[in-house]
Structure 1
Amino acid sequence: MIQSFTRRPVLGLVLAGFAALLIGAAPSAQAPIVLAAASLQESLTAAADAWAKAGHPRPVISFAASSTLARQVEAGAPGDLFASADEDWMDALAAKALLATGTRADLVGNRLVVVEPGGRHSAIPAGGVRLARILSAGPLAMADPDSVPAGKYGKTALEKLGAWTAVAPKVARAENVRAALALVERGAAPFGIVYLTDAKASSKVRVAGVFPPTSHPPILYPIARLARSTNPEAEGFRRFLLSPRGRAIFARFGFTAPGRQR
């Protein structure tokens, strides 16, 4: 049951954006480039700051939907590390031999929640007809359920709880989970499905319900070094993120540490 809880971009433009990113990264030519899921924004930024304070070049981080980033890697965009919000997009790169052998590991875990604008106090039912009626009353903000991890997890959960058929026509598809969160923050959607860490990062929304873990696959964020990376700092930063100190940073932002290596 859902528990109450209080408290295809155009390739040319994508590559041009990366060129601008690299220009902005000068003069530190050794700074590794990290392609990371949008939901890692605050935590990975904090980790990059900690790494820089230890005397390393500060990593340059590009945040976007995992699907967008994986397609960029496939298209040849520059990058050293990839942190995905699900295993599917990492699997897709592995299948094309785009990951450095032996560097893939599960970085963190997360929870899936329903959020609403702050100041409201909705009671989210356990599932079925009542859940479908509430979430389909107005636009439901979600990352694209056809490709973006948060949206895929959300669709699976709603299917499991018997609400997807009624809700699907009312879904406001966003390019990533933070864009979905922004719709709720602005009041453009009465409810949204995001990760718990996204909800914690915003003072403008409240968590109205938490999806049971059994309603969707485990939310795991794998990280790997890209096969074409030659930056010596990349592997060091990857290992730092997986270290106890790195995991403590993610835990501070509400992530869990699965600790499973492969």
Structure 2
Amino acid sequence: MKSRCFALDLLYPGIYSNLMNASLHALRVLVFTLAAPLFLSACSAAEQGGTGTVILAASSMQEAMTDAANAWAAEGHAAPTLAFAASSALARQIEGGAPADIYLPADEQWMDRMEGLDLLRPGTRSDLLTNELVLIAPKEDGEADWNMTRGALLNRLGDDGRLAIADPQGVPAGRYARAALTHLDLWNAVANRLAVAENVRASLALVERGEAPLGVVYKTDSMASDKVRILATFPADSHPPIRYPVAVLASSDSRGAEAFMAFLKSPEAGAIFARRGFGLVE
């Protein structure tokens, strides 16, 4: 018994609109019967023993949260339903009334917004994980690790190459990238050389396909790919701390939501997250 998971693609606003207006049953019908061919990726297996908790998680959580959800289901619990997208896109769906039980974004700003709108169940919010920000290149690029300087960065981009980053206007990975590049006095050098993607996994894909010679992603994203390599890790003090908060949504009627939340904070889940490269918040 495994969880069902989907990576939501912002290229399909019609589906997003439907998600915002659907009932919980309609959401599952829509996702499970129509969405798989349209989303960036999907995985599913037969559920047994009831309907699981619905989790909206940041794109960078795909492998780790799928592993955790499968471990939970293996213990005999109802298999969770997972949906992945940019934290900002998920927040907009929650604001629009999309039925779900748990929100797990990649930064505290979007969770602060949900809390300010009274969309969280009081007392359930906590910080769960941390991450690092890295500069990546295609794996076949065998050049040794190097220091990030203006000249080195521009030389690596060449005449027409672009730096792949998530949208810095709202997506956490993009905001962290802009902050780090600004701190290192590199933002002005690359601001007009960006390949802006809708989420961090889309940024990763641009580098994987060789469409961008460089990209800024989380360490965990680079670990999930065998097509890229880390060139450098951004200093921790070059950007706000990368934290993944988690909370039960106020609209949730799932009896298992808080139990699954407790599992996410357990040593078993912590070991799963650590294997995927995440840091743990005590």
Q: Normalising to structure 2: TM-score of the pair?
A: 0.84
Find the partner of 1:186 among 204, 209, 216. 209
Alpha-carbon contact 1:115-1:192 (below 8 Å) kept: yes
**Structure 2 residue 180 is the aligned partner of structure 1 residue 174:** no
Matches within 5 A, 1:48-197: 48-123=69-144, 125-134=146-155, 136-137=157-158, 138-197=161-220
Deviation at 1:124, TM superposition (A): 5.8
The residue type equivalent to 1:185 in the other structure is: E
Could you say what the CA RMSD is over the residues aligned between the two structures, in angstroms?
Answer: 2.0
Q: Give the secondary structure class of the aligned counterpart of 2:212.
A: coil
* SS in structure 1 at match of 2:251: coil
Shift of residue 214, structure 1, vs aligned partner: 0.8
Structure 1 residues 194, 101: CA separation in 2 closer, same or farther (over 3 Å shift)?
A: same
C-alpha contact (below 8 Å) 2:148/2:232 kept by paired residues:
no
1:252 aligns to 2:254 (yes or no): no
Question: Is the CA contact (8 Å cut-off) linking 1:135 and 1:167 kept in structure 2?
Answer: no
Q: 1:173-195, CA deviations, whole angstroms, 9 ceiling, x for partnerless residues?
A: 10100000000000000000000
Q: Which residue of 2 aligns with 1:14?
A: 16
- Greater shift, 133-142 or 213-222, is seen at 133-142
Per-residue deviation, 1:63: 0.3
Pick one of 50, 53, 56 that aligns with 1:35.
56
**Kept after mapping to 2: 8 A contact 1:9/1:68:** no
Identity of aligned residues (%): 48
- How many residues get paired? 252
Gaps of 5+ in 1: 1-7
CA contact (8 A) 2:130 2:244 kept: yes
Match of 1:214 in 2: 237
> Does the aligned pair in 1 maintain the 2:147–2:232 contact within 8 Å?
no
Q: Which runs of 4+ in 1 moved over 4 A?
A: 8-12, 17-21, 25-29
Instruction: Give, as a single letter, the amino acid of the residue that structure 1 aligns with 2:223.
Output: K
SS of structure 1 residue aligned to 2:244: strand
The alignment partner of 2:140 has SS state of coil
Does structure 2 conserve the Cα–Cα contact (< 8 Å) formed by 1:38 and 1:178? yes
SS of alignment partner, residue 248 of structure 1: helix
- Residue identity in the other structure for 1:159: T
Alpha-carbon distance, 1:143 to partner? 0.6
Point out where structure 2 has 5 or more consecutive residues left out of the alignment: 1-9, 33-43
d(CA) in 1 for partners of 2:143, 2:270: 33
Q: Between the two structures, name the one with larger relative contact order (CA 8 Å, sep ≥ 6).
A: 1
* Amino acid of the structure 2 residue aligned with 1:62: A
Deviations 1:68-104 (A, max 9, x none): 0001000000110000000000001000000111111
